[in-house]
Amino acid sequence: MSPDAHGEVVMASPHQHPGPGTVVRVARTALNWSQAELGRRCGYSASQVSRWETGRMPLRDVELLRTLAKVLALPPAAFGLGDTTERPSRTATTARNRVGRVTTPPTEEDDPVRRRAFLQLAALTGSTFAWPMAAHATEVDPAAVLASRLGDVLLGSAQSDEPTTGVGVLSEALAVAQQEFTACRYLPLASRLPALITAAEASSAQRPEPHTQRVLAESYNLATRALIKLETSGLEWLSADRALRAARTAEDSLTLVEAQRLVASVARRAGHHDRAQNLTLAAASYLDVAGPRPVPEHLAMYGTLHLSAAYAAARAGNRERASDLLAKAEVTANRLADDHDRHRTLVANLVSHKVSAAYVLGDAGTALAHARSLPLAAIPTTERRARLLVDAAQAWAQWDKPDQAYRTLLAAERTAPGEVRTRNAVRRLVTDLMESSKHAAMPGLPKLAQRVHAVV
């Protein structure tokens, strides 16, 4: 990899510090090589490669690491090694390609497709590369970055010359992106998710197989969930529609249901409350929840559909309908009592939706009572904990207690700075708080307004 190519990425992620074995596994997978193939190229057995990748045999030998870097077309820095001070000539490089039992064809080392595949993988997984942060993170507006980066991929033309990425790499990259979302790390997500969508689109165009379509659909689903947090721009309609189109050929009912649920969420956000309810509940027809032994994943999604429909009903001002749908979701949660993780997740989601529904119906006291009913520690993800706190802050403001709203926002910021500094709802709330006459009770409010990029 040339110095110029190496300059295209930023090393040393602040979130993840993978060991050499992980680097080998990720790079090998990016090239669609089996462990046996990598072992053949290095002169080792597949079982030896497996031991490296799992960490059962640590990779500490510098010469071996340099050999792996050459074979995998990685920069030495990927393994924490310094690059050579002098770039060898073609003749010298060819003469030294053989290290022990290793023979690496020089044409493979310089293959631009392999180099691009690795750069793509780095952007997708974030396993060894990170978003280049500003000296002061609050100077960067994560909402603007997300909207810009996702806008580029949603409104730009498809890159037909992108190398095909294996579904294993795409799936791993999707898992990383989903982790970034649930941890509210939206700046890294703004880099990785567009790269994932681009790679999945290229792979889908060349190999439109169900597994690839599923990753593509779920990538667009994730983009929609991120865009819903921002100011309405129309991009959320594009991502939701593309998710639904890909999901229809993914042969995965949960992916299809989630795509339709998010289309309904976008419609609800645009004021189509009744249509949003109908779309959401219609998606339940794809789920297997009947009988004494329903599919647990389907049952959890069934409960989620009723929560989304309940919120749409609340937005429409239909208190009775919202209450009925929340009650059905609670019954569904009880049916998952034997499945600890899914039961915990659905119960946390239920409480969160009770808070938000009560707030939009004007029942601030009820919303806060619901918020107090569940310890934050019982909510499984950072994103959900922060959402509950933000909704509680809105309820405090609705109850004309701006100082309590301010303190709750600070608690949300301590829990998940990325959520508070990205969500459009927080910006609107802080802008309203700045107009309050009770500034003395909120001494740090102007600085909070700066951090969340509120309009003041």
**Could you list the pLDDT tens digit for every one of the 456 residues in the chain?**
333 333 232 232 333 456 788 888 877 876 778 888 898 888 888 888 988 888 888 888 888 888 888 888 777 777 777 655 344 333 333 333 333 333 333 333 344 544 455 555 555 655 444 444 444 455 789 999 999 999 999 998 545 556 677 888 899 889 989 999 999 999 989 988 999 999 999 999 988 899 999 999 999 999 999 999 999 999 999 999 999 999 999 999 999 999 999 999 999 999 999 999 999 999 999 999 988 889 999 999 999 999 999 999 999 999 999 999 999 999 999 999 999 999 999 999 999 999 999 999 999 999 999 999 999 999 999 999 999 999 999 999 999 999 999 999 999 999 999 999 999 999 999 999 999 998 889 999 999 999 999 987
Of the candidates 224, 217, 225, 291, the residue with the CA atom closest to the CA atom of residue 254? 217
* pLDDT the model gives residue 114: 46
Report the amino acid identity of residue 112: P
CA distances from 357 to 104, 139, 240, 318, 375 (A): 62, 33, 23, 10, 19
Domains and CATH numbers, the chain: 3-111 (1.10.260.40), 131-270 (no CATH), 272-380 (no CATH), 381-456 (no CATH)
* pLDDT the model gives residue 347: 97
Question: From CA 50, how far away is CA 38, in angstroms rounded?
Answer: 10
Q: Which residues pair with 99 in a beta bridge?
A: 102
Return phi, psi of residue 129, to 5°.
Answer: -135, 155
The DSSP symbol for 455 reads -
Structure tokens at 183: 């941890």
Residues whose CB is less than 8 angstroms from the CB of residue 213 and which lie 6 or more positions away in sequence, other chains included: 204, 246, 247, 249, 250, 251
Of the candidates 421, 375, 408, 363, the residue with the CA atom closest to the CA atom of residue 184? 421
The answer to whether 212 touches 204, Cβ cutoff 8 Å, is: yes
Q: Which residue has the tokens 């004007």?
A: 362
Q: Which residues pair with 234 in a beta bridge?
A: none
The answer to whether 223 touches 186, Cβ cutoff 8 Å, is: no
Question: How buried is residue 140: exposed, middle or buried, by Cβ count under 10 Å (0-12/13-18/19+)?
Answer: middle
The answer to whether 376 touches 330, Cβ cutoff 8 Å, is: no
* pLDDT the model gives residue 56: 84
User: In degrees, to the nearest 5, what angle opens at C-alpha 96 toward C-alphas 92 and 102?
Assistant: 155
- Per DSSP, helices labelled H in 156-252 are 167-182, 186-206, 210-228, 235-247
Report the amino acid identity of residue 196: L
Which helix (H) or strand (E) covers residue 404, if one does?
helix 402-415
Return phi, psi of residue 340, to 5°.
Answer: -55, -50
The answer to whether 202 touches 165, Cβ cutoff 8 Å, is: yes
* pLDDT the model gives residue 165: 79
Structure tokens at 150: 């996702």
The number of angstroms, rounded, from the C-alpha of 118 to the middle of its chain's C-alpha atoms is 20
* pLDDT the model gives residue 161: 59
Question: How buried is residue 242: exposed, middle or buried, by Cβ count under 10 Å (0-12/13-18/19+)?
Answer: buried
Question: From CA 275, how far away is CA 260, in angstroms rounded?
Answer: 12
Return phi, psi of residue 126, to 5°.
Answer: 65, 20
Q: Mark residue 234 as left, alpha or beta (left: phi above 0; alpha: psi -120 to 50; beta: remaining).
A: left
* pLDDT the model gives residue 380: 94
Return phi, psi of residue 99, to 5°.
Answer: -125, 110
Residues whose CB is less than 8 angstroms from the CB of residue 26 and which lie 6 or more positions away in sequence, other chains included: 18, 121, 125, 127, 128, 169, 172
CA distances from 75 to 7, 79, 80, 103, 313 (A): 10, 8, 9, 18, 55
* pLDDT the model gives residue 9: 26
Question: From CA 177, how far away is CA 185, in angstroms rounded?
Answer: 9
The string over 260-293, giving b where at least 16 C-beta atoms fall within 10 Å of a residue's C-beta and e elsewhere, is bbbbbbbbbbeebbeebbebbbebbeebebeeee
